[in-house]
Amino acid sequence: MLIVGGGLAGGLLALALRELEVDVCLIAAQKPCATQWSYGVIPGWPLGTSPLALQAAKASGLWRDLGRRYGAIGWSRSRLQLHSGQPWSRLLPLPASQVDTARFHAQLPELLRSSGVRLLCADALAIEWDRGEWLVRCSDGSDQRSAQVVLAAGAACRSLWPAWPEVLRSSWAGVLELPDWPATRLQLPAQFQRPGIERSSGELKEPCSVVDAGLVPRGDGALLGQISRFFPGLALAESPLGMEQELRQAIAASALPKGLSKASGIWRQVPVAFSLTGNPWAGPLPDAPGLFGFSGFSGGFAQVPVLAPLLAQVLATGSATAQRQLEQLQVWQPSR
């Protein structure tokens, strides 16, 4: 089994497949990925009424179970302070948890290797059908072959497989890494603007930006963000300029602590995949037998632990039960 993408989605899927004794090769690109600079926040309540949102509210327990099986991977309980909402939301810290993305990203490669995953640190350059199986050409000069391939490469998925359905889109996201800011709690807006723009982005005529002002712990410091820049069309636009200044201006006008907008930090800007429907893709890609997609998450640290074990069961055993569950969660679209 080949998995393309070494972030959250590819990593947890590879671990789930190894628990089912599947031989796995994971191709992990060397470029920074969205996993590294995510908030990693897992709310303790459903963020919607969809079947997936209801299941994702249980993700803290799934991360706790992963920690029991694999050791400390950055997950911990926390309290979430909301701002810019109703007065009650600013007064009551809410139950939540967080995966420290610095710790998770640092530990994932060794965790994969110790679990028996063959980890190939290279960029996937192209994928093609060749003599009855899939061939993935890599930047280290190697060709990797398998009858089954999962594309879990986030915003790079469409460049590898342009025929991916139009529901998969990509945007740019930016945050400031504050290495010396000792954040001790999660501070996020009461309502995120990004999901609404994701769902309407298919109708965009010109670029637009939104800021969801937040401050969360990461490693020994904090992440300050997030700004998202959307563009019309399917292709990922070139890395835009000026996002850091936009973010700092929005932080200055937010309810976050004064002085944050001028804090010294390292600018991090990465492409992010998303879905027009709000539900990710976890299943076969049309007209490509043996080729699967696992991308387009909105709140991946809550959604991926729910979906990865189910997709792994389908891939490893052909489980009809797991497939029905993915269909019920509205993430599996039957191939034609």
Place of tokens 């610095």: 102
Q: What's the pLDDT at 87?
A: 60
Please give the mean pLDDT across all residues of the chain.
94
Average pLDDT over every residue of 90-96: 74
- Report the side by side order of strands in the sheet with 2-4: 118-121, 25-28, 2-4, 149-151, 291-295, 281-284
Does the pLDDT of residue 90 top 60, yes or no?
no
Does the pLDDT of residue 207 top 70, yes or no?
yes
Is the separation of the CB atoms in 295 and 154 below 8 Å?
Answer: yes
Average pLDDT over every residue of 26-48: 91
Task: Please report the domains of the chain, with CATH numbers, ordered by start residue.
Answer: 2-328 (3.50.50.60)
Average pLDDT over every residue of 238-245: 94
Average pLDDT over every residue of 89-103: 83
User: DSSP of 212-227, one letter per residue?
Assistant: EEEEEEETTEEEEEEE
Q: What's the pLDDT at 93?
A: 77
Average pLDDT over every residue of 21-30: 96
129, β-bridge pairs: 134
Q: What's the pLDDT at 72?
A: 87
Average pLDDT over every residue of 232-238: 91
Does the pLDDT of residue 122 top 70, yes or no?
yes
Is the separation of the CB atoms in 135 and 125 below 8 Å?
Answer: no
Q: What percent of the chain has pLDDT over 90?
A: 86
Q: What percent of the chain has pLDDT over 70?
A: 96
CA distance 26 to 23: 10
Average pLDDT over every residue of 287-315: 97
Q: What is the pLDDT of residues 142-185, one digit of tens each?
A: 999 999 999 999 999 999 999 999 999 999 999 999 998 887 78
Average pLDDT over every residue of 114-142: 96
Q: What's the pLDDT at 333?
A: 82
Average pLDDT over every residue of 248-265: 93
The answer for 273, left when phi > 0, alpha when psi is -120 to 50, beta otherwise, is beta
Q: What is the pLDDT of residues 303-322, one digit of tens each?
A: 999 999 999 999 999 999 99
CA distance 194 to 175: 14
Does the pLDDT of residue 335 top 80, yes or no?
no
Q: What's the pLDDT at 30?
A: 84
- Cα 160 to Cα 153, 261, 288, 290: the distances in Å are 9, 38, 13, 15
Q: Which residues of 108-138 are buried (b: 16+ CB within 10 A; e: fewer)?
A: bbebbeeeebebbebbbeebeeeeeebbbbb
Does the pLDDT of residue 218 top 80, yes or no?
yes
Radius of gyration for the alpha carbons in the chain, expressed in angstroms and rounded = 19
Q: What's the pLDDT at 89?
A: 55
Is the separation of the CB atoms in 294 and 311 below 8 Å?
Answer: yes
Does the pLDDT of residue 9 top 70, yes or no?
yes
Cα torsion 321, 322, 327, 333 to 10°: value is -120
User: DSSP of 64-102, one letter per residue?
Assistant: HHHHHHH---SEEEEEEEEESS-HHHHH--EEEEEE-HH
Two tokens at 10?
């590819």
pLDDT band at 88 (very low <50, low <70, confident <90, very high): low
236 three-state secondary structure: coil
pLDDT band at 265 (very low <50, low <70, confident <90, very high): very high
Does the pLDDT of residue 139 top 70, yes or no?
yes
> In 3-state terms, the chain is what percent helix, strand and coil (to 5)?
35, 30, 35
Positive or negative, the CA dihedral 154, 158, 160, 164 is: positive
Of 11-25, 53-67, 179-193, 211-225, least confident by mean pLDDT is 179-193
Does the pLDDT of residue 246 top 90, yes or no?
yes
Q: How many CB atoms lie within 10 A of CB 159?
A: 15
Of 13, 6, 95, 10, the residue nearest 306 (C-alpha): 13
268, β-bridge pairs: 175
Q: What's the pLDDT at 47?
A: 87
Exposure on the CB side of residue 257, measured as CA atoms within 13 A: 14
